Amino acid sequence: NRRILLARRPKGAPVPEDFRFEEAPLPELAEGEVLVRHRFLSLDPYQRGRMDDARSYAKPVEIGGVMECQAVGQVAASRDARFKDGDWVLGGFGWQTHSARPGKALIAIDPQDAAPSTALGVLGMPGLTAWVGLKDIGEPKQGETLVVSAASGAVGQVVGQLGKIAGCRVVGIAGGARKCAYLMDELGFDAAVDHKGDLGAQLDAACPGGVDVYWENVGGAVQAAVFPRFNNFGRMVMCGMIAQYNTAAGADAVGAAPGPNLGPVVRKRLRIQGFIVGDTGWKRYAEFRAELLGHIAAGRLRYREDIVQGLDAAPDAFIGLLQGRNFGKLLVALD
Ligand code: NDP
């Protein structure tokens, strides 16, 4: 079992030395446990938070502990009657090639429905995040303008397309011409804004009627540019602020990132609400999966994955995720 451990807590942006590789024997199975051979690991921005020893909604990874992630894999041995060799499963397995888990902690996935990797992206945690946040907080309505940041990424691409399905004018913000072209040409967004260019001028052109829903994935300068363009009764869905995950001061420190003047919240009756997908998301997973499978089958929902090969590629790919190097849902494929 080859695995990647947290060697030390990063100071600012993670570097390769923050990770350590280790070979360990395959785990022995206790009654009720299943040995899973991992096929795809999911690299996600929240894993940066797990590397810090800060108070959060989840415990940090210990120094010397296996880096946390969700993964899909195939059963290699089973002492749980519900699972047999070769079955595809989803679980919280960590950055490693194999793991032993109680069968009751696994979700079975049907590879006939969709490619197994989608259980980590469009049909998994990121897609569920988009679906829950829009339903519960964004509440997009026909004719409204929805702006989404990190729009070509795992969460953003689903948010924007669900916004289109709801009848919104959808504006995606992304880094660079390739990602912006993808939003327009492949996903059918109404406008794309490159955050490496003049944000204010591009947003004015893209949102002539102002902004009704802003899906926040990024924070920082992007947030500061979108915020003054809210219409009355606008909703800001606080999903994440990746631009400040590497700030040495700690993401929650006052002044860690520039923020908008909150004065207009009262005058414009804005609603700003944060959420964590796990709060209610997994209880509603079956409904979500059925709905999104329907959209995919009907050609209304597309998805893009960015797959790197081999466990050893994980640290560098993760470092790149926090710099915008990924283009779509970032996954590590294991042989
Ligand atoms: P993405 O696939 O969108 O990848 C991250 C993207 O963020 C990059 O590709 C890049 O896109 C952008 N980015 C990275 N660093 C910066 C920066 N410094 N400034 C501006 N943009 C940057 O990731 P996910 O879709 O998995 O996650 C998106 C957001 O959703 C994150 O904030 C994440 O923490 C949050 N999240 C929250 C959940 C919840 O329960 N609340 C659950 C899941 C995710 P670009 O090149 O376009 O700038």
pLDDT in tens, 252-280: 677 767 788 899 999 999 999 999 999 99
Which of 218, 273, 276, 330 gets mutated to test ligand 1 (max ligand atoms within 8 A of its CB)? Answer: 218
229 lies in which domain range?
125-279
Residues with CB under 6 A from ligand 1: 44-46, 126, 129, 150, 152-156, 174-175, 179, 195, 217-218, 239-240, 242-243, 275-277, 321-324, 326, 329-330
* 113 shares a domain with 130: no
Please report, for the domain that includes residue 260, its CATH number. Answer: 3.40.50.720
- Helix, strand, or coil (residue 233): strand
Report the nearest atom of ligand 1 relative to the CA of 240. Answer: 32
Domain contains 284? no
How confident is residue 247, by pLDDT bands cut at 50, 70 and 90? confident
Domain contains 288? no
* 323 shares a domain with 275: no
Which of 155, 158, 319, 325 gets mutated to test ligand 1 (max ligand atoms within 8 A of its CB)? Answer: 155
**CA of residue 218 to ligand 1 center, whole Å:** 6
Single pTM value for the model: 0.96
* 115 shares a domain with 130: no
How confident is residue 335, by pLDDT bands cut at 50, 70 and 90? confident
Residue 250 has pLDDT above 70, yes or no: no
Domain contains 113? yes
ipTM above 0.90 for this complex: yes
User: Nearest 5 degrees, angle CA 211-CA 133-CA 162?
Assistant: 70
pLDDT in tens, 163-207: 999 999 999 999 999 999 999 999 999 999 999 999 999 999 999
Beta strand pairing call for 230-238 and 271-274:
parallel
Neighbours of 25 (CB within 10 A): 6
What beta strand segments (E) does 175-229 contain?
A: 191-194, 211-216
228: its two tokens: 């003054």
Q: How many domains does the chain have?
A: 2
